[in-house]
Amino acid sequence: MLLIPCPWCGPRDEIEFHCGGQSHLARPEPWHAVDDATWGDYLFTRDNPKGLHLERWSHAAGCRRWFNVARDTVSHHILATYRMGEPVPEALQRELAAAAPRGAS
Amino acid sequence: MSALRLPSGGEVDRARPLRFRFDGRDLRGFAGDTLASALLANGVRVMGRSFKYHRPRGLLAAGVEEPNALVQVGEGALSTPNLRATEVELYDGLVARAVNCWPSARLDVGALLRPLERFIPAGFYYKSLMWPDWHWFEGAIRRAAGLGRVAGVPDPSRYESRYAHCDVLVVGAGPAGLEAAVEAAARGERVLLCEQEPRIGGCLLWERREVTGPVLDGEAARDWIAARLAQLQACPDVQVATRTTALGHFDHGALTLVERVAEHLGPQAPAQLPRQRLWQVRAGRVVLATGALERPLVFPGNDRPGVMLATGVRRYLGEFAVRAGERVVIFTNNDAAYATAAVLRASGGAVVAIVDTRTTPGDASLALAAAADARVLRGAAIVATHGDPALRAVTVRDATGRRERLEADLLAMSGGFSPTAHLFSQAGGTLQWDAASLQFRPAGGAASVTAVGDAAGVETPIEPCWRVEAPGKAFVDFQNDVTVDDVELAAREGFVSIEHLKRYTTLGMAPDQGKTANVNGLALLGSMTGREPGQVGATRHRFPYTPVALGAIAGRRRGELFHPVRRLPLHDWHAAHGAAFDEYGGWMRPAQYPRPGESRVAAEQREALAVRDGVGLFDASPLGKIEVVGPDAAAFLDRIYANAMSTVQVGRLRYGLMLSELGVVIDDGVAARLADDRFLVGTTSGGAARIAAMLEEWLQCEWTGLRVLVAPVTTRTAVLTLTGPAARRVLETVGTDFPLAADAFPHMTFREGAVGGVPARVFRVSFTGELSYEINVPNSAAAGLWQQLMDAGAAHGITPVGIEAWMLLRTEKGYLHVGADTDGTTAPDDIGWGHVLRRDVDFVGRRSLTRPENRRADRHQLVGLEPLDGAALPVGSHLRSTAAQRGSEGYVTSSGFSPTLQRWVALAMLRAGRARHGETVTVLHGAQPLRARVTAPGSYDPQGERLRG
């Protein structure tokens, strides 16, 4: 059971949270100018990295705020949490850049 | 008592004798005994039959690793299978049986199979019982194998759970654990010390200084334990939990413990105590002071009752004052076992010989042997055991190959030690093979877990002896009846991965999880395939360390609490008026209100007719209600709904569809514009929580600039829905402070005011096709208004309406029920909402509606069905153009018998259905296909005149 530091409430048990999958997805707009492939990618294509993954979680049984979680998918270590709209922490940006090729995120 | 019990010493209380019964025999023990120690003291040597071959088995060990002495404890509903006799604390009146044998462990009919055992090696069933079908054999095999039996009735015991937090969790209260706990406490840390045994002290309770090293034995050891315990108890932030086993280590320092609170008291346990308690602990770090488990030696006949682990023999002697045999042979490949000779001799037993596979035992060990008057046979091995059912003699082969028979009733063996690093492995740590000391030691990979004491590794001179080469069955895994031959067979057939070996032979499976077997098994596999044990590797340990009762995991979440339901504000009224309740979307709701002697179906028909002919009253309180407030509320809802909401005028209502980003219909409902910047969004009853969460996600994650607040308010008000041609007259009788005439309060508007003196918000919307008023009132006023409406409606034959009649009415009318008529592919156009495609703005799911899949002409579309054979069209029945056609063109989604139309009515999804009105289709159900005519959805009042009236 993960111990997730909610940026609003502090560390709480995983059962209080809901995982919303990959974070920093950009919704393609305007809708009439988006081709099928781009829209299909937005709907269905996700990163599946071994290692650092940026996810969005909501503190569903707590403050009900959504926030970002940087989690290592191998060790389950949580490297950082940061609020919605905040940029990816710099140290993680460097790590992401150094990691193997990955999809847009 | 039997001569085996020493007159003094040990932790048992000789002043408190206890009676117990095993396999029908009445026996006696003492307080402080385990069932195992008491049986041993009574001279019981056969305590069970083996899993596969029904071989007689006795105690191998004294602790949780015991693989043989599995017992069924207790009677009736409290009967518990597969407990290790070594873990069962004795209480007065305890009743236990051996498992996997009939009628008893000593006289077991299943043992008649034993002459066949050489014909049923590992994989026998997979290979032999394939023809004609495994299921022909499965019943008999399952009866012959298997262990204990479940009680077959619900467990009446209470189980509890609790959460705990600590800086340090110390697992194991032996010398190393006590030291670690005292150190941590001295630093001011919050400490939780858990010990699976009832007594604190671990091996200090039974070992002598030859084994424990710097710590003293006997009274000095007891003083040492008491002093440490006193130190711990003086610290406010230290908790010591006995009878508490750490079962699992999960992510981020989460551990699960199970505490046997009252289990050891048996049926006499005080009622206020739970039987067991599950702890969920979050620990900053974990100290494993879990000790080590001794390994058996693998030689022919090593499973005969009377062959035991040397540490087990010492523990029975030291902690329980039971000498497991009078004439003892010790068989070892290491120095640690020599202490056994010393303590047995000191207690008055005779040590016949120490058979050491090595040629050069340590000098200190030889001194111990000499003091015990024991011969030491160097470079020797035991090649056979004798006695039926229990040990009488062993055959030793010395270094020259000469064989000698030694009379003995106890063989104490030691094949080395395996640190109890299960939790370390579960925490993600790696175990590294130490080729010098022949053990897997905790290495890296689990930074927050530290192993101390024997859990870090046992230091004793040792040489490998993974098997004794001699004819006869030599067991590797006692609990699963896996022999050297089985491991050899697996290696020969290519099952050379340790994980494959486990699945093929069952080595390391079942309650035991290979506590005494795994390392011997993998080392043997390695020796057969030219690999070191470190190269073979160990299977990853997993939860739970020892078997745990499902009741402990369930805790209080049983019966009513397993899945708590919500009750309506008017629940008591419904119950008092004969409602038959069912669960709908987490709510207990009246399905019907059957009168005495009336069937549910008849009630439903009567209620539906009452709505069509007069008036009905329906409790719609669970309808989802979400307030959406803020300057951008209208713009936000324009993006959330597939149809526009910003054009709704204040005071008016609009039906709307919500889509997922995939363009699939996920919810529908009526939204009210309460003010320019305030909407009340209505959702389906089942969608209330889900849609509120979805709105939050869009606002927080995507459209963060919108100034909107979302407040789920479903349970703030009760909803009393008055429906039927007489609804207005009933409402007039009750009295409102706003006009009710159709032109003053038209369809799809709402009014706020007093209804029967109660502040209310009334919506004119209809799900039945009749004139309807959805009256929203505070929960506290609901019962009073409901009764007013019932009284006022009496003259019109008002009837409370259950949800089943409600669904029937909307099916007649052809109104969609999202989730029943739609599925995970249904797009707006499929249900007749194609006009949303003409909206040239973006909304959730908008782009997906233009995908090629959504533009296909042959999509499933909602239609009505009119049966041509007079028979029911059951939900789920598939549709075809003709009976001879293959495949399916659609299916029935809603169905019922209309008391108004006096025929069956149905809704269906049909391929290109909108263009097929008037066509006859075949409905597949049972042997005889039915015919139905395709119509527009809705058979009742297609012009909708009644609901506007």
Chain B residues touching residue A5 (CB < 8 angstroms): none
Q: Are the Cβ atoms of B282 and A13 closer than 8 angstroms?
A: yes
Read off the tokens for B280: 């969920």
Q: Are the Cβ atoms of B700 and A31 closer than 8 angstroms?
A: no
Q: Are the Cβ atoms of B252 and A2 closer than 8 angstroms?
A: yes
pLDDT digits (tens, 9 = 90+) for B736-777: 999 999 999 999 999 999 999 999 999 999 999 999 999 999
As a three-state string, the secondary structure of B534-555 is HHHCCCCCCCCCCCCCHHHHHC
From the list A32, A56, A64, the residue facing B701 with the nearest CB is A56
In a mutagenesis test of the B interface, which of A32, A63, A74 is the best target, namely the one with the most B β-carbons within 10 Å? A32
Q: Does A43 touch chain B (CB under 8 A)?
A: yes
From the list B697, B704, B842, the residue facing A20 with the nearest CB is B697
ipTM: 0.95
* Residues 6 or more apart whose Cβ sits within 8 Å of residue B799: B593, B606, B607, B610, B611, B614, B615, B616, B617
Q: Are the Cβ atoms of B693 and A58 closer than 8 angstroms?
A: yes
Task: Give the burial string for A27-66 (b: 16+ CB within 10 Å, else e).
Answer: beeebeebeeeebebbbeeeeebeebbbbbbbbbebebbb
In a domain, A10, yes or no: yes
From the list B251, B661, B851, the residue facing A76 with the nearest CB is B251
Q: Does A31 touch chain B (CB under 8 A)?
A: yes
* Domains of chain B, earliest start first: 13-127 (3.10.20.440), 159-292 (3.50.50.60), 297-414 (3.50.50.60), 466-548 (1.10.10.1100), 566-621+717-810 (3.30.1360.120), 626-709 (3.30.70.1400), 856-948 (2.40.30.110)
Nearest CA in chain B to A56: B701
In a mutagenesis test of the B interface, which of A2, A31, A39, A69 is the best target, namely the one with the most B β-carbons within 10 Å? A31
What is the C-alpha separation between B591 and B581, in angstroms, rounded? 5
- Tracing tokens 């009379």 back to the chain, one arrives at B407
Pick from B444, B511, B529, B490: which is nearest to B64 by CA? B511
Q: Are the Cβ atoms of B696 and A64 closer than 8 angstroms?
A: yes
Q: Does A44 touch chain B (CB under 8 A)?
A: no
Pick from B322, B331, B337, B276: which is nearest to B301 by CA? B331
Cβ B169 vs Cβ B194: under 8 Å: yes
Q: Are the Cβ atoms of A3 and B254 closer than 8 angstroms?
A: yes
Residues paired with B385 in a beta bridge: B394
From the list B251, B252, B842, the residue facing A30 with the nearest CB is B842
Q: Are the Cβ atoms of B701 and A60 closer than 8 angstroms?
A: no
What is the pLDDT, as a whole number, of residue B556? 94
Read off the tokens for B298: 């693998």
Q: How far is the first Cα of chain A from the last one, in angstroms, to the nearest whole number?
A: 26
Nearest chain B CA: its distance from A52 CA (Å): 16
Cβ B344 vs Cβ B323: under 8 Å: yes
Q: Does A15 touch chain B (CB under 8 A)?
A: no
Using alpha carbons only, what angle is made at residue B470 by residues B469 and B475, rounded to the nearest 5 degrees? 80
Nearest CA in chain B to A78: B252
Interface contacts A/B by beta carbons within 8 Å: 56
Q: B484-492 vs B518-528: helix axis angle to the nearest 10? A: 50
Nearest CA in chain B to A58: B697
Q: Are the Cβ atoms of A31 and B846 closer than 8 angstroms?
A: yes
Nearest CA in chain B to A77: B252
Chain A residues touching residue B251 (CB < 8 angstroms): 1-3, 14, 76
What is the pLDDT, as a whole number, of residue B52? 84
As a three-state string, the secondary structure of A27-75 is CCCCHHHCCHHHHHHHHHCCCCCCCEEEEEEECCCCCCCEEEEEEECCC
Q: Are the Cβ atoms of A65 and B700 closer than 8 angstroms?
A: yes
Nearest CA in chain B to A29: B842
Domain count, chain A: 1
Nearest chain A CA: its distance from B644 CA (Å): 17
Element (DSSP H or E) covering residue B779: helix B779-793
Q: Does A1 touch chain B (CB under 8 A)?
A: yes
What is the pLDDT, as a whole number, of residue B125? 67
Q: Are the Cβ atoms of A84 and B851 closer than 8 angstroms?
A: no
Q: Are the Cβ atoms of A84 and B701 closer than 8 angstroms?
A: yes
Domain coverage including residue A16: 3-98
Q: Are the Cβ atoms of A58 and B697 closer than 8 angstroms?
A: yes
Cα atoms found within 13 Å of the Cα of residue B949, Cβ hemisphere only: 17
Q: Taking the C-alpha atoms of B347, B349, B353 and B358 in order, what is their torsion angle to the nearest 10 degrees?
A: -30
What is the pLDDT, as a whole number, of residue A103? 47
Chain A residues touching residue B840 (CB < 8 angstroms): 32
What is the C-alpha separation between B430 and B640, in angstroms, rounded? 50
What is the pLDDT, as a whole number, of residue B1? 33
Nearest chain B CA: its distance from A9 CA (Å): 17
From the list B252, B280, B704, the residue facing A84 with the nearest CB is B704
Using alpha carbons only, what angle is made at residue B800 by residues B799 and B801, rounded to the nearest 5 degrees? 105
Q: Return the CATH number at A46.
A: 3.30.2270.10
Q: Are the Cβ atoms of A66 and B661 closer than 8 angstroms?
A: no
- Residues of B in CB contact (< 8 Å) with A are 250-254, 280, 282, 428, 661-662, 693, 696-697, 700-702, 704, 840, 842, 846-848, 851-852
Nearest CA in chain B to A42: B661
Residues of A (48-67) whose Cβ lies below 8 Å from B? 56, 58, 60, 64-66
What is the pLDDT, as a whole number, of residue B699? 97
What is the pLDDT, as a whole number, of residue A14? 96
Q: Beta strands B159-171 and B750-755: pairing type?
A: unpaired
In a domain, A50, yes or no: yes
In a domain, A105, yes or no: no
Q: Does A89 touch chain B (CB under 8 A)?
A: no
Pick from B197, B160, B122, B247: which is nearest to B511 by CA? B247
For chain B, list residues with pLDDT below 70. 1-3, 112-113, 115, 118-119, 125-126, 129-131, 141-146, 209-217
Nearest chain B CA: its distance from A94 CA (Å): 24
Q: Are the Cβ atoms of B697 and A13 closer than 8 angstroms?
A: no
User: Using CB atoms within 10 A of its CB, is residue B110 exposed (0-12), middle (13-18) or buried (19+)?
Assistant: middle
